[in-house]
Amino acid sequence: MLVGVGLGVGVVALVLTGCAADVEPPAPPAGVDLRSADPADGNGLWLRSGADVTAIVAEAVRAGGGVHVRGSITETVQPDPETEPEPGRTITLDFHGTAAAYTASVTAGDVAIEVVVSTDGTRLRGNAAFARENPGRDAGAVVCTTGLDSALAEWSPLLDPAALVSTLLPGAGVGATAPTADGDTIDVVAGEEGSVVGVLVVERFGAPLPRSYVAADGTGEAEFTFTGWGDPVDLEAAAEQLPCPAS
């Protein structure tokens, strides 16, 4: 009898409270612990890990507007196991602008190009080594193309900051370290635990735009600096430096 009374009370309570079947409540974002995180500490990049970090930084770069990227990648060669490793060929990059409109000069080994890409098209000038590798091009001559010059394809991802960042932070071994008490940057570390390969320093507050990148391992070393986020780029002045040949 008591059980019946209990059931009755329960039914009455249910009816009174109107506990109909509710919709499934939304879940907090997966893989992020927000309870202990303080939004005053920064933009929260360190809450994520792996490919998420790379995607977030790349997205910030994409939305960050024009940027001035300078940097170099130097390979380390060891022709003879007996000798000390020595620096080999070097790629240097000087890039102004966005992935869609930029001016850049790139050298790779003895190949050097200067390029201006805008909505009007592509202007590209290469040196003698470039002309050797690309039949049909003349050394020192500016080639103007409507749209994108096909010779630029082999230079990606150097000429797209977001792709460059994605290349510098590969795989799942990427993690952002939580910021220390002061300082306005976050270190994004690429490489597995214990064998850090590269460190990308990004902004701690606001969009995680990169500031610099340093990497070194047995195959070479790389360093990039990212400055002037969002600054306008004077493409017209750059285009005047590469005048199209009179047709």
Q: How far is the CB of 21 from another protein (least distance, A)?
A: 11
User: DSSP letters along 22-75, please?
Assistant: PPPPPPPPTT---SS--GGG-S-GGG-BTHHHHHHHHHHHHHT--EEEEEEEEE
Site string for another protein, 205-234 (x = CB under 8 A): xxxx--------------------------
> Of 151 and 190, which has the nearer Cβ to another protein?
190
> Of 12 and 141, which has the nearer Cβ to another protein?
12
Candidate segments 27-35, 111-119, 214-222, 239-247, binder of another protein by CB under 8 A: 27-35
Distance CA 216, CA 128 (A): 31
The reply to whether 190 sits near another protein by the rule CB under 8 A is no
Distance CA 199, CA 185 (A): 12
Q: Determine the size of the site formed for another protein (CB under 8 A).
A: 39
Site string for another protein, 34-63 (x = CB under 8 A): xx-x-xx-xxxx-xx---x--xx---x---
> Of 97 and 208, which has the nearer Cβ to another protein?
208
User: Which one of residues 3, 5, 153, 181 is an interface residue with another protein (CB under 8 A)?
Assistant: 5
The CA-atom distances, in angstroms, between 27 and each of 30, 32, 33, 56, 144 are: 8, 11, 12, 21, 54
The reply to whether 3 sits near another protein by the rule CB under 8 A is no
Q: How far is the CB of 13 from another protein (least distance, A)?
A: 5
SS3 state of residue 2: helix
Q: How far is the CB of 27 from another protein (least distance, A)?
A: 6
Q: How far is the CB of 93 from another protein (least distance, A)?
A: 25
The reply to whether 180 sits near another protein by the rule CB under 8 A is no
Q: Is the peptide bond before 157 cis (omega within 30 degrees of 0)?
A: yes
SS3 state of residue 128: helix
> Of 32 and 172, which has the nearer Cβ to another protein?
32
The phi, psi pair for 114, rounded to 5°, reads -125, 140
Beta-bridge mates of residue 186: 202
- Classify residue 117 by burial, with Cβ atoms within 10 Å: 0-12, 13-18, 19+: buried
Residue count (the chain): 247
Binding region for another protein (CB under 8 A): 1, 5-6, 9-10, 12-13, 16-18, 22-23, 25-29, 32, 34-35, 37, 39-40, 42-45, 47-48, 52, 55-56, 60, 203-208
